[in-house]
């Protein structure tokens, strides 16, 4: 049971903090007309996390941690991406909350891919924390650890989208969601600045 509990606790610890990936999936729950139309964002994010977890546990973490220039490229690309996503979230308005500007399926999937695979925190957390934590396990135990992390990821993203849909249905004031977007954008810009400062 140890690798299962370890995987659950570690995955929750990494996925809980407010970040661009969580914000995007939650926002799709709010902006899409129905839960079914919000699912592509949640499923895409979960699939990306699953791939990153598998790659991290099976050795990618060792490669990235050995070559500083790879980590540097990831961080610089991530900073630029976070600045852009912060702008997109900041400029979203009440019209999008009424479904008038809901992202179409293709764009929703592409955005979910970008916030999952171009997010330096997600990449470095998955590779640096989950990948290195998995080293202590072998064989079946390592498999159980990996499965626990993946299950937490899927449940979390589906819960985020469902929560967004629920809050929209009970007609929470649009001003609350707009304020949430503004605060999220500020947090995302803050993360970009933090990563930038860490380079010097």
Helices (H) and strands (E) in the chain, counts: 11, 0
Tokens of 50: 């699953």
Q: Is the pLDDT of residue 99 over 50?
A: no
Q: Which residues span the domain enclosing 10?
A: 2-198
The 10s digit of each residue's pLDDT in 169-197 is 776 666 776 777 777 778 778 877 877 78
Q: Is the CB of residue 174 less than 8 Å from the CB of residue 94?
A: yes
CA distance 44 to 28: 12
Confidence of residue 65 (pLDDT cuts 50, 70, 90): low
Domain count across the chain: 1
Neighbours of 84 (CB within 10 A): 15
SS3 content of the chain, % helix, strand, coil (to 5): 85, 0, 15
Nearest of 188, 133, 189, 152 to residue 21 by alpha carbon = 188
């Amino acid at each position: 049971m140890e690798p299962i509990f370890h995987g659950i606790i570690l995955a929750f610890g990494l996925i809980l903090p407010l970040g661009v990936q969580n914000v995007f999936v939650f926002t799709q729950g709010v902006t899409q007309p129905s839960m079914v139309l919000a699912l592509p964002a949640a499923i895409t994010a979960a699939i990306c996390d699953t791939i990153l977890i598998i790659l991290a546990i099976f050795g990618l973490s060792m490669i990235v941690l050995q070559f500083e220039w790879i980590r540097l490229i990831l961080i610089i690309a991530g900073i630029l991406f976070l600045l852009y996503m912060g702008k997109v979230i900041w400029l979203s308005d009440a019209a999008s909350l009424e479904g008038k500007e809901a992202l179409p399926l293709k764009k929703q999937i592409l955005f979910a891919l970008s916030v999952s695979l171009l997010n330096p925190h997600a990449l470095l957390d998955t590779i640096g924390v989950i990948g290195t934590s998995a080293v202590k396990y072998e064989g079946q135990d390592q498999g159980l650890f990996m499965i626990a992390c993946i299950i937490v990821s899927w449940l979390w993203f589906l819960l985020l989208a469902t929560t967004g849909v629920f809050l929209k249905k009970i007609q929470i004031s649009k001003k609350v969601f707009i304020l949430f977007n503004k605060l999220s954008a500020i947090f995302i810009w803050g993360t970009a600045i933090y990563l930038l400062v860490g380079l010097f």
